[in-house]
Structure 1
Amino acid sequence: MKWLLQLVLTLSVTFCFTTAQNPEAAGRASSWIGGAEHEGALRALKWLEEAQDLGDGGGGWGSDAPRALLALQLSNCSWIPNAGMKAELAATKLELQIALLLWRHHEPPISPGRLAQYTLALGAMCKDPRDFHGHDLISLLLRHEPESDFEFAFVTLAVCNSGSHARKRHIRRLLDVTGDTDKHSADTLAMVVLALRCVAQEHRHRDLLRFVAPPALALAALQQADGSFGNLHTTALAMQALEGAGAIAWDRGAAMNLVLSSQAPDGSFGDTFTTTEVVLALQSRGLAQVSQCKCNKPRLPPSDTELGNFTFS
């Protein structure tokens, strides 16, 4: 309890201080894929920044605050310090929200998927989710295995992006999906591709890369004539997955045209949730590149219990 009181006091002081400020947002210097995506991403990011001011007390992002912070921070890993006090306020509010959720142990626990979203946002903000004011959020994630394959793959991706190592049973479950792709939706296939790529690239499991092809091929086969993979959210997620999946045949141009044609005049894609998902597909860093924000974050060596004599077949 003492840790919570200290944290709330610290964050509340920061909150009060930043609320009194009214800075202008700074410009960003990001790395973009290029072309029309550049303009579309800039407009969407501008809308996200302005959406923070909607509602009472700057609560325009609502429950999508971790998604918005993730998208904005991945557009430029220095977005929070460069954008001024308003961005610092948003980051502080997010930390306070997480602290309060950890404290409310008598209420229904936070879902693994929601906790994974928080850890991804913290990682992009250069905060180590393995040591959130003395609490290891990644250990909490590893303790509860979601029933749905989509949420499970998302949790595995969050664990991997934190610098921690997926356990053997987690990798085996991902491989189970790759061996039975016909039973899974486009969303699940896309998230499994992202999770497998992260585990393979981040933790020297290069032999896992060959398992990326089956779900990626199955996902590409789900692309429709108009370029979509379903709704806008699913299409954006599929684009992220296929972008770095290797030599997989899919119509990137048609998907991009469909996404950009869905952008509203104000720069949004309808709401905060969908806008953040699309932005991650338009810019050079998405869900698979959270760890690319250089925060001098130490990576943990694999333990014997995590790797052991595990072989992939």
Structure 2
Amino acid sequence: MDPGIPVPPPLYGGHERLVAMFIDEYTRLGHDVTLLAGPDSLAPRVKHFGINNLERSGLQKFIELTQAWSYLIQNHKHFDLIHNFGRLLYLLPILNKPVHKFMTYGRDVTNSGIKNITALPHKNLTFTGCSNYCVSTGNKWGKWETVYNAIDFSKYSFKSQVEPDAPLMFLGRIEEIKGPHTAIKVAKATGNKLWIAGNIAKQHIPYFEREIKPHIDNEQITYLGPLNDFQKDEFLGKAKALLFPIEWDEPFGMVMVEAMACGTPVIAIKRGSVDEVIDQGLTGFKATTINDIIPAIANISGIDRAKCREQASKRFDVKVIARRYLSLINK
């Protein structure tokens, strides 16, 4: 795992959270797992490298690359599987070694890297993407498999019902492509309250000040700030629906599954992976435009929250996804 954010992450960090869950599940299944990640990362067996700083220099990243190479060259024979959630280049010195190697992508793939790596001699290398959409951006070279992202459903509290006037919720990075401004428009058009939660990166502060902050009145529209895991569980469970009005091709959208785990259905714009993640009418509704979102809200009470969680659990619980990864070794 790339340094920059510890594993598990204190707040946001999708892949870091995934890695932590897989370590727990593989260990529960009886496997010995070693984590190679940044400082403050926790695991039964962990090797730290690099620094925790998302804005670290290019020189620092090169140093980290050489540290990862050194560790893998010295230790690859001790492992049956090396699962890389970090930079593709980490695998370079062991590409042609017999050990099984998974390279996992959670975002659109840079094809030049895949092309160059697969042009070299290599063995037992499988690329995985977090959705069919994600895989479609990179499967021109190499062997590819779709393996969805996961959450640990046991850590989410199921809410069988919510109040009739329960708020809608937006949870995600506060930036234009995620669509919180659209969530505000929908809430106002339907007379619903709206909770907005998420972190604001420095470069998106002007957007927040211009498009979001003027609408915050702490009555109909409330900004909750960044949420930790316990707070996410609490607020998602109390919401009547999660709004996911994206303006980009989302590779997966973990927050959709987190909402479903609480029994909260999702209403999302059908881009990227949305068509794969939502089961129409069972775990939520897929919309083409903002005009489709408004009638979907009127029908949200028709979704059975217990069935919503049950269906999502069958598809995205960490127990299911961990076994999917393990099955690829035999495949």
State if a TM-score over 0.5 links the two structures.
Answer: no
Q: Which has the higher contact order (CA 8 A, sep 6+)?
A: 1
Of the two, which has the highest radius of gyration? 2
Shorter-normalised TM range: under 0.3
- Taking structure 2 as the reference length, the TM-score comes to 0.21
- What TM-score do you get using the length of structure 1 for normalisation? 0.22
Higher helix share: 1
